[in-house]
Structure 1
Amino acid sequence: MSTPFGLDLGNNNSVLAVARNRGIDIVVNEVSNRSTPSLVGFGQKNRFLGEAGKNKQTSNIKNTVDNLKRIVGLNYEDPDFKQEAKYFSSKLVKLDDGKVGAQVRFAGEQHTYSATQLAAMFINKVKNTVVSETKASITDVAIAVPAWYTEEQRYNIADAARIAGLNPVRIVNDVTAAAVSYGVFKTDLPEGDEKPRIVAFVDIGHSSYTCSIGAFKKGELKVLGTAYDKHFGGRDFDRAITEHFADEFKTKYKIDIRENAKAYNRVLTGAERLKKVLSANTAAPFSVESVMNDVDVSSQLTREELEELVKPLLERVTDPVTKALKEANLSVDDVDFVEIIGGTTRIPCLKNAVSEAFNKPLSTTLNQDEAIAKGAAFICAIHSPTMRVRPFKFEDIHPYSVSYFWDKQEEDEDNLEVFPAGSSYPSTKLITLHRTGDFSMEAKYTNPNVLPTGTAAEIAKWNITGVKLNDGQTSIPVKVKLRCDPSGLHIIESAYTVEDIKVQEEVPPAADAPEDAEPEYREVTKTVKKDNLVVEAHTFALSEKDLNSLIEKENELAAQDKLVAETEDRKNALEEYIYTLRGKLDEEYKDFASDDEKSRLRDMLAKAEDWLYDDGYDSTKAKYIAKYEELASLGNIIRGRYLAKEEEKRQALRSKQEASRMAEMAEKMAAQRKAEAEKKDDSKADAEGDIELD
Structure 2
Amino acid sequence: MSVVGIDLGAQSTKIGVARNKGIDITVGLIVSRSLVAFGPKSRHLGEGAKTQETSNLKNTVGNLKRLIGRSFNDPDVQVEQEFSAATLCDVDGLAGAEVTYMGKKEKFTATQLVAMYLGKIRDITSKELKLPVTDVTISIPAWFTDVQRRAMIDAGEIAGLNVLRLVNDTTATALGYGITKVDLPEPEEKPRRVMFVDIGHTEYTASIVEFRKGELNVKATAYDRHFGGRNFDLALTEHFANSFKEQFKIDVRTHPKAWSRTVAAAERMKKVLSANQVAPMSIESLMEDVDVRTVVKREELEVMIKPYLDRITVPLEQALAEAKLKPEDIDHIEMVGGTTRVPAIKEAVSKFFGKNLSFTLNQDEAVARGCAFSCAILSPVFRVRDFSVHDIVNYPIEFTWEQSPDIPDEDTSLTVFSRGNVMPSTKILTFYRKHPFDLEARYAKPDLLPGKINPWVGRFSVKGVKADDTGDFMVCKLKARLNLHGILNLESGYYVEDMEVEEPVPEEGEKKDPNAMETDAPNGEGEQPKKTRKVKKQVRKGDLPISTGKFTIDQATKEAWTERENAMYMEDKLVAETDEKKNELESSIYELRDKIDGVYAEFASEEEKEKLRAKLMETEDWLYEDGDDTTKSAYVAKMDEIRFIAGPIIQRYREKVEAERQAILKAQEEEAAKKRAELEAKRKEEEEAKKAEEEAKKAAGDEEMKDAPTNGEAQKDEGEQKQ
**More displaced 10-residue stretch of structure 1: 274-283 or 499-508:** 499-508
Match of 1:439 in 2: 437
Quickly say closer, same or farther: Cα 1:605–1:320, change in 2 above 3 A.
same
**Is 1:586 the counterpart of 2:606 in the alignment?**
no
Q: Name the SS of the counterpart of 1:137 in structure 2.
A: coil
Shift of 1:662: 5.3
Tell me how far 1:648 sits from its aligned partner: 1.6
Q: Mapping of 1:612-627 within 5 angstroms?
A: 612-627=623-638
Give the corresponding residue for 1:361.
Answer: 356
**Identical columns (%):** 46
Q: 1:204 aligns with which of 199, 202, 209?
A: 199
> Which of 180, 186, 192 is residue 181 of structure 2 equivalent to?
186
Q: Do the aligned partners of 2:433 and 2:467 also contact (CA within 8 Å) in 1?
A: no
Note the alpha carbon deviations across 1:37-61, whole angstroms, 9 max, x for none: 0010111101110000001101111
Q: Which runs of 5+ in 1 are unaligned?
A: none
* Structure 1 match to 2:514: none
Matches within 5 A, 1:389-428: 389-409=384-404, 410-411=406-407, 412-428=410-426
1:45 to 37, 41, 46: 41
Measure how far apart 1:102 and its partner are.
Answer: 0.7
- Shift of the alpha carbon at 1:128? 0.9
5 Å-filtered alignment, 1:114-133, equals 114-133=109-128
Give distance in 1, aligned partners of 2:443 and 2:689.
107
User: Could you say which residue in structure 2 is the equivalent of 1:462?
Assistant: 460
Distance in 2, Cα, partners of 1:69 & 1:23: 28
2:95 is the counterpart of 1:96: no
2:550 paired residue among 539, 544, 564: 539
Inter-partner Cα distance in structure 2 for 1:675 and 1:190: 72
Greater CA radius of gyration, 1 or 2?
2
1:558-573 pair list within 5 angstroms: 558-573=569-584
Give the TM-score normalised by the residue count of structure 2: 0.90
Task: Map residues 214-613 of structure 1 onto 2, 5 A cutoff.
Answer: 214-409=209-404, 410-411=406-407, 412-505=410-503, 522-613=533-624
Could you tell me how far 1:572 is from its partner in structure 2?
0.5
- Distance in 2 (alpha carbons) for counterparts of 1:516 and 1:184: 52
1:653-685: CA deviation from partner (whole Å, max 9, x where unpaired): 333444455566667888899999999999999
The letter for the 2-side match of 1:87 is: F
C-alpha contact (below 8 Å) 1:156/1:540 kept by paired residues: no
Amino acid at match of 1:444: R
- Alignment partners' CA distance in 1, 2:664 and 2:626: 48
**How do residues 41-80 of structure 1 correspond to structure 2 at under 5 angstroms?**
41-80=37-76
Distance 1:354 1:127, change over 3 A: same
1:173 aligns to 2:184 (yes or no):
no
**Aligned-pair CA distance for 1:533:** 1.2
CA-CA distance at 1:407 after TM superposition: 2.2
Match of 2:17, as an amino acid? Answer: V
> SS in structure 2 opposite 1:281?
coil
TM-score (norm. length: structure 1) = 0.94
Check the 8 A contact 2:34/2:46 in 1, yes or no: yes
1:449, CA displacement in angstroms?
A: 3.4
Residue 195, structure 1, aligned to residue 198, structure 2? no
Instruction: Please state how far the C-alpha of 1:468 moved relative to its aligned partner.
Output: 3.8
Contact 1:507/1:522 (8 A) holds in 2? yes
SS of corresponding position for 1:192: coil
Greater Cα shift, 420-429 or 18-27: 18-27
**Alpha-carbon deviation of 1:107?**
0.7
Q: Distance in 1 between matches of 2:210 and 2:544?
A: 40
Deviates more, 1:674-683 or 1:121-130: 674-683
Kept in 1, the 8 Å contact 2:29–2:125? The answer is: no
* Alignment partners' CA distance in 1, 2:248 and 2:267: 22
| 8 A contact 2:504–2:533 mirrored in 1 | yes
Contact 1:205 1:233 in 2 (8 A): yes
Find the counterpart in structure 1 of residue 714 from structure 2: none
CA 1:217–1:675 in structure 2 vs 1: closer, same or farther (change >3 Å)? closer
Q: Is the 8 A contact 2:462 2:545 kept in 1?
A: yes
1:520 is displaced (CA, Å) by 5.9
8 A Cα contact 2:14 2:25, kept in partner: yes
Cα contact 2:496–2:538 (8 A) shared by 1: yes
Q: CA deviation at 1:5?
A: 1.6
Residues paired across the two proteins, number: 684
Residue 228 of structure 1 and its aligned partner are, at CA, apart by 0.5
Structure 1 676/287 Cα, relative in aligned 2: closer, same or farther at 3 Å? same
C-alpha change, 1:541 and 1:663, in structure 2 (3 Å) is same
CA RMSD of aligned residues (A): 2.7
C-alpha contact (below 8 Å) 2:399/2:413 kept by paired residues? yes
Aligned partners of 1:316, 1:236: CA distance in 2, in Å? 13
The amino acid that maps onto 1:62 is: K
